[in-house]
Amino acid sequence: VSSSPPSRNETVCILADPAGIFELVQVVGNGTYGQVYKGRHVKTGQLAAIKVMNVTENEEEEIKLEINMLKKYSHHRNIATYYGAFVKQSPAGQDDQLWLVMEYCGAGSVTDLVKKTKGNCFKEDWIAYICREVLRGLAHLHINHVIHRDIKGQNVLLTENAEVKLVDFGVSAQLDRTIGRRNTFIGTPYWMAPEVIACEENQDSTYDYRSDLWSLGITAIEMAEGAPPLCDMHPMRALFLIPRNPPPKLKSRKWSKKFLNFVESCLVKNYLHRPSTETLLKHSFIRDMQNERQVRIMLKDHLDRTRKKKGEKDETEYEYTGSEEEDDELDEDEGEPSSIVNLPGESTLRREFLRLQQENKNRSDPHRQQQFQQQQLKDQEKYKKQLQAERQKRIEQEKERRKRLEDHQKREEELRKQQECEQRWPEIKAVQRRDEKCEDDKGIVDEEMSSSPKPEPIRRGNARKGSVVNVNPTNIRPQSDSPEIRKYKKKFNSEILCAALWGVNLLVGTENGLWLLDRSGQGRVYSLITRRRFQQMDVLEGLNVLITISGKKNKLRVYYLSWLRNKILRNDPEVEKRQGWVSVGDLEGCVHYKVVKYERIKFLVIALKSSVEVYAWAPKPYHKFMAFKSFTSLHHKPLSVDLTVENGQRLKVIYGSQVGFHAIDVDSGSVYDLYLPTHIQGTIHPHAIIILPNTNGTELLLAYEDEGVYIDIYGHFTKETVLQWGEMPASVAYLQSNQVMGWGEKAIELRSVEAGNLEGVFMHKKAQKLKFLCERNDKVFFASVQSGGSSQIYFMTLGQNVLFNW
């Protein structure tokens, strides 16, 4: 390898070690499958751009062929010159590093520049100049039968002298795909031509070099509007919509007819009718560009001013520091190809999304939906009279059962006191004093709640196992499979609204802030955020995020766990400088959300005041939830929401309102009633939507008021059984133990989710309001609301037995 940067005519020895030849200076960007560095030639000090990627030995031969092709066609004034490639050897067991070295373009990409430009748009003559230079570079590639395949603002670079250079052309895109086969990345499809997407959906479809011209048209819109069309949409949704939507157009009327017509010419849907590269070079928008020298001077001046402002903080998203893997899932960084290339027979993230979006007119047929609704009305009328009679009967039965439990508990309590007095009879006066003290202590320990009944020293044939209430959660758990209830000493001054486990610790959301309860030590509490209301939250540790509904406007916000961690540890000044959260879309007035994982896809379904939004997680490089579908102007305001996948094929949103439960077919957008409990007067309170296990997402338990019914996703009853609570629960939750728990004022009930059978009761000593917070494994966390608005946290450790003997 030569000791100076290679000239355009030199052949650089491919796959030599870069040590002593090039060195990395600083990261200037994150590529699809690696980072891009500003680098320096060691002997001459000349700058170069170096793309660093991990490769395996098996890929190196393929890479050699591809890089030779890169060198062959990079000799053009509008294409960044490739100097060569090197492989940096890694220790045994680790992938080697591929270094791709190319011409350094110091002013950065068109995408970066337009984001730093006032109004997020370029002047029209700047756009004409850049489009002309891109067309010249494409003409060179196309005449040599090379398709770029990845034209977008990020791949159009500017030098400090306002020269325009294309990067990542043709086989470089192929190189990305080669290395990307084992990555999660799902592509940047917003610039992709419809025929390219169609070709990947259907192996018989074809496309040619004119796909680059569609991408140029989208890039022109990006320079005019700051972002490509559909950019707020999830990339998989965009992939689905681009071939099906009409060609996008410029939104503003301020642009000239020439520019509007140029964009229209690039974005002809049928590529066979799309103009060629040479034809577009003769388009009046390109041909009639006035005073090119003046345009270059203005653009260079803008680049200089932007570079001076570079010291100011860029509006970039928080740097990703998590992993894409979660404990209970497959590693999202492995075994999944890029969406840009689908190998035959592979199960990919792209295909899962595509399958879930395919139109299926037989299933979405309005006539069939009408039949479902008619049948549903008949079913409901049939059950209405039966339910009204049975409901009263069940309520009486549950009251009688509860009364027997309470009487049994009182007898056991009296017996316990009698035994204590008999044991201490010789010291009756001391006993009296101890009894008085014992009554005082019980306000802290016993009065909160107890199972029915407490375990006794004397064995009885039908004695039920009791709960253990302990104010110190660090105590060693007794050797018993009895359920335990413990409470933390910390009293929160405002009502606890939600909580989520973060590792072993508990994040707690209240009316006026976010706290961390350290469960690994002595229950110490840390304040993380003050003066902000937290209504709902979930931790996704593998993604490094905390999802919340928070603030006065009930926005959906995503907080970064590394930022929250640093608020406690204070050990990373760089993290502290960044904004620790981002909003999901512009959503305000959020009522409830649910995170639903299907295959490798994470959906986020959100209930707003009169609409439902469906978002989906977009992995690196996006690393955020992005819009998938929206359902507005719903007749009934959603109060709770969930999402199911019917037989692995069709997405169904299930939501509860004040009149009952409803469903939305995500594909067709049709909304229909699932269950309306017309036998109950007035409005209802929907507690929980439980998608029953082992039913392929087709059967539900809908909990509302003091009942629960079993139906399928089309509103047909699947069981005649009705789950009946002993009292009106304030909160209902489905547990991983396949049980459902209800928190009433007098007791906590544990029931079988399959049949609604009572499997356990925890009686309270005094009426109190309890709220479910979260659960994991055999631990269930809930909170009490006491007089004055203060709250305390309890957790219950369920017994080892699935069916408890009370």
Q: What is the 3-state secondary structure (H, E, C) of 624-653?
A: EEEEEEEECCCCCCCCEEEEEEECCCEEEE
- Is the confidence at residue 433, as pLDDT, over 90? no
Residue 732: which H helix or E strand, with range? strand 731-735
Share of the chain above pLDDT 70, in %: 75
- 222 vs 86, more confident: 222
Our CA angle for 696, 702, 703, nearest 5°, is 140
* 495: nearest Cα among 720, 787, 776, 178: 787
The reported pLDDT for the residue numbered 731 is: 94
The reported pLDDT for the residue numbered 86 is: 87
Q: How far apart are CA 528 and CA 718, in angstroms?
A: 46
- Is the confidence at residue 375, as pLDDT, over 80? no
Do 235 and 301 touch, CB atoms closer than 8 A? no
- Is the confidence at residue 394, as pLDDT, over 60? yes
State in Å, rounded, how far the first CA of the chain is from the last one: 80
Summarised one tens digit per residue, pLDDT across range 20-78 is: 889 999 888 776 567 889 999 999 999 999 988 887 766 666 677 677 777 888 889 99
- Give residues with Cβ within 8 angstroms of 457, minimum separation 6: 419
Do 35 and 29 touch, CB atoms closer than 8 A? yes
**Binning pLDDT at 50, 70 and 90, where does residue 427 land?**
low
Summarised one tens digit per residue, pLDDT across range 459-487 is: 323 333 333 333 233 333 444 555 678 88
Do 791 and 510 touch, CB atoms closer than 8 A? yes
From the number of C-beta atoms within 10 Å of its C-beta (0-12, 13-18, 19+), residue 459 rates as exposed
**Binning pLDDT at 50, 70 and 90, where does residue 785 land?**
confident
Our CA angle for 283, 289, 294, nearest 5°, is 160
* Core vs surface per residue 235-247: b (16+ CB within 10 A) or e: bbbbbbbbbeeeb
Catalytic-role residue among 96, 112, 125, 150:
150
**Binning pLDDT at 50, 70 and 90, where does residue 571 land?**
confident
Summarised one tens digit per residue, pLDDT across range 674-730 is: 999 988 888 999 999 999 999 999 999 999 999 999 999 999 999 988 899 988 999
Do 29 and 44 touch, CB atoms closer than 8 A? no
Summarised one tens digit per residue, pLDDT across range 342-370 is: 333 344 566 667 667 765 544 455 666 66
- Give residues with Cβ within 8 angstroms of 637, minimum separation 6: 591, 609, 610, 657, 658
**Binning pLDDT at 50, 70 and 90, where does residue 801 land?**
very low
Q: How far apart are CA 508 and CA 546, in angstroms?
A: 12
Q: What are phi and psi of 561, to 5 degrees?
A: -60, -35
- Strands 707-712 and 791-797, sheet pairing: unpaired
The reported pLDDT for the residue numbered 95 is: 79
Task: Tell me whether residue 553 is annotated as binding.
Answer: no
Q: How far apart are CA 109 and CA 151, in angstroms?
A: 12
| Amino acid (1-letter code) at residue 609 | K
- Is the confidence at residue 317, as pLDDT, over 60? no
Do 411 and 463 touch, CB atoms closer than 8 A? no
- Is the confidence at residue 322, as pLDDT, over 50? no
- Is the confidence at residue 806, as pLDDT, over 50? no
Do 651 and 668 touch, CB atoms closer than 8 A? no
Long-range contacts, 794-797 (Cβ 8 Å, 24+): 794/448, 794/485, 794/486, 794/487, 794/488, 794/770, 795/473, 795/485, 795/486, 796/467, 796/483, 796/484, 796/485, 796/748, 796/762, 797/477, 797/483, 797/484, 797/486
Four-point Cα dihedral 291, 295, 296, 299, nearest 10: 180
Do 794 and 784 touch, CB atoms closer than 8 A? yes
User: Residue 367 carries which DSSP code?
Assistant: H
User: Does residue 150 have an active-site annotation?
Assistant: yes
- Strands 469-470 and 484-487, sheet pairing: parallel
Q: How far apart are CA 168 and CA 190, in angstroms?
A: 17
- DSSP-derived secondary structure for 715-729: S-EEEEEEEE-SS--
The reported pLDDT for the residue numbered 355 is: 67
Summarised one tens digit per residue, pLDDT across range 243-258 is: 999 999 999 989 999 9
Work out the mean pLDDT of the chain and round it to a whole number: 79
- Give 306's Cβ-side CA count (13 Å radius): 22
Structure tokens at 589: 């007035």
Q: How far apart are CA 468 and CA 445, in angstroms?
A: 9
User: Residue 705 carries which DSSP code?
Assistant: T
Most confident of 79-93, 351-365, 498-512, 615-629: 498-512
Instruction: Give the chain's radius of gyration (CA, Å).
Output: 32
The reported pLDDT for the residue numbered 31 is: 61
Q: How far apart are CA 700 and CA 346, in angstroms?
A: 32
Structure tokens at 205: 């479809």
For the residues 512-531, what does the mean pLDDT come to?
Answer: 89
The helix/strand/coil state of 748 is strand
For the residues 755-770, what does the mean pLDDT come to?
Answer: 84
Find out whether the peptide bond into 248 is cis, omega within 30 degrees of 0.
Answer: no
Q: How far apart are CA 357 and CA 332, in angstroms?
A: 21
Q: How far apart are CA 595 and CA 605, in angstroms?
A: 7
Tell me the pTM.
0.75
Q: How far apart are CA 448 and CA 768, in angstroms?
A: 8
DSSP E strand stretches across 268-345 = none
Q: What is the 3-state secondary structure (H, E, C) of 546-592?
A: EEEEECCCCEEEEEEHHHHHHHHHCCCHHHHHCCCEEECCCCCCCCE
Do 78 and 166 touch, CB atoms closer than 8 A? yes
Residue 602: which H helix or E strand, with range? strand 601-607
The helix/strand/coil state of 744 is coil
Least confident residue range of 180-184, 384-388, 720-724: 180-184
Strand partners, 517: 506, 525
- Is the confidence at residue 2, as pLDDT, over 80? no
**Binning pLDDT at 50, 70 and 90, where does residue 424 land?**
low
* Core vs surface per residue 744-761: b (16+ CB within 10 A) or e: bebbbbbbbbbebebbbb
Share of the chain above pLDDT 90, in %: 43
From the number of C-beta atoms within 10 Å of its C-beta (0-12, 13-18, 19+), residue 612 rates as buried
Which strands make up the sheet holding 82-88, listed edge to edge? 22-30, 34-41, 47-55, 96-102, 82-88
